[in-house]
Amino acid sequence: MSTSSEPGSAPTGFVPLCVPEIRGNAWDYVKQCLDSNWVSTAGPFVDRFEQMVAGSAGAKYGVATVNGTAALHVALLAAGVRPDDEVLVPALTFIATANAVRYAGAWPVFLDAEPVHGQLDPQKLTDFLERECTSRGGALVNRTTGRTVRVVLPVHVLGHPVDMDPVCEVAERFGLAIIEDAAEALGAKYKGRPVGRFGAAACFSFNGNKLLTCGGGGMIVTDDPRLAERARYLTTQAKDDPLEYVHGEVGFNYRLTSLQAALGCAQMELLDQFVGAKRATAAVYDAAFRDVPMIEPFAEAPWAFSTSWMYTVRVGRDQSRPLMRHLDAHRIQTRPLWQPLHCSPAHAGRQSYRVEVADRLYRESLSLPCSVGLTPQQREQVLATISAFWRSERATA
């Protein structure tokens, strides 16, 4: 990212948290849309973008959507979620995951994170299914609510994959579908396999702060042709006739525009470079924090290939928010993790099961600048400012 004072650029010395990196063929592809008048929800770039994202995830089909939340909403419907069903959701994730469940008329049940990587805890998922659910009439029923549990929705948070083998095993044992929320994890791998390959479908996001961006946008990927067809139908207003405006049910205006898809295609061509840049920044930070007792980076599991989408650390002695304010005062942008969803007023009264770790991670964690275009000088500015904070803390302790 430029640090000049040109219009639209960040002011000199300011270090943003995570901003887009627009280069490669982006200008050319968007201009092709403008020159050809393919600017809306049809055109060759939409098809191409779907194929590129599906191919990257190792899936057969891609269905582009206007954003990642829309992708989750439609994927849940296409996977058979019905009104008053329940979907198992990690408490430590962005609120859009739970909101999409509510859009489908279903109810989230919140589960805890594991403490090392911040991902959905497979053991607590298993415990909930074994202890709190029962089989009734061929369905899995939550004993507390009496509702049918239909889907488990693991979220690969911060670009790191969930430990999917135990999640897949217990989901199969209890007859649950898996929809992966991979909004933050395009390019990540679990035991050498791309995320997005472990359930009925997976959903990605291309919001402005994601590894790749279309300015917005999302994608459903799947190997199931019926699910892909259903998702495509629902995202295009459930139109039943290619000419006549006949609609068999209530659909959604959820399709991605060609302009956005063109930008997405250019971004996809740079995926490996962008992941490499993110991981390089993570490696520098990891090395710098190795001997800092008050800062503990989220670790990468031996079985994981993380994209390090949002580089996040745990800060000791209840200093995460003071450190955030200190960095902000020095024009360095950071952010806390999301308020755990079982504490969210928007989802008050929803069931949660043994959520303990997520609360602690929320209090302790802070995400540091990690843009694809973050410069070595900006990294050093971040590290020097953090070092100065701890020196001042020790001096006043």
Asked whether residue 123 falls in the same domain as residue 55, the answer is: yes
Asked whether residue 48 falls in the same domain as residue 183, the answer is: yes
How many residues appear in the chain?
397
> How far apart are alpha carbons 358 and 340 in whole angstroms?
6
Would you say 197 and 58 are in contact if contact means Cβ atoms under 8 Å apart? yes
Q: What angle do CA 63, 370, 279 make, to 5 degrees?
A: 75
> How far apart are alpha carbons 61 and 264 in whole angstroms?
17
- What is the phi/psi pair of residue 26, to 5°? -55, -50
Domain containing 302: what range? 271-396
What is the structure's pLDDT at 41?
85
Q: The pTM is what?
A: 0.94
What is the structure's pLDDT at 141?
98
pLDDT tens across 199-228, in order?
999 999 999 999 999 999 999 999 999 999
Instruction: Give the end of a domain, one of 228, 248, 268.
Output: 268
Asked whether residue 95 falls in the same domain as residue 132, the answer is: yes
Instruction: Give the end of a domain, one of 245, 268, 291.
Output: 268
| Token code pair at residue 181 | 């929320």
Asked whether residue 157 falls in the same domain as residue 53, the answer is: yes
Asked whether residue 105 falls in the same domain as residue 120, the answer is: yes
pLDDT tens across 5-32, in order?
333 444 458 999 999 999 999 999 999 9
Instruction: Give the end of a domain, one of 268, 297, 332.
Output: 268
DSSP at 224: -
What is the structure's pLDDT at 2?
34
Asked whether residue 98 falls in the same domain as residue 152, the answer is: yes
Residue whose C-alpha is closest to residue 93's, from 70, 110, 116: 110
Total domains, the chain: 2
> How far apart are alpha carbons 152 and 378 in whole angstroms?
40
What is the structure's pLDDT at 9?
41
131 part of a folded domain: yes
| Token code pair at residue 374 | 């973050």
Asked whether residue 116 falls in the same domain as residue 30, the answer is: yes
Strands 86-90 and 149-152: parallel
> How far apart are alpha carbons 93 and 101 in whole angstroms?
13
Asked whether residue 390 falls in the same domain as residue 297, the answer is: yes
| Token code pair at residue 136 | 């009734």
Asked whether residue 37 falls in the same domain as residue 122, the answer is: yes
Residue whose C-alpha is closest to residue 210's, from 39, 68, 38: 68
Which CATH number covers residue 349? 3.90.1150.10
> How far apart are alpha carbons 186 and 306 in whole angstroms?
9
> How far apart are alpha carbons 288 and 282 in whole angstroms?
10
Can you list the residues of the chain whose pLDDT is less than 50? 1-11
Would you say 238 and 251 are in contact if contact means Cβ atoms under 8 Å apart? yes
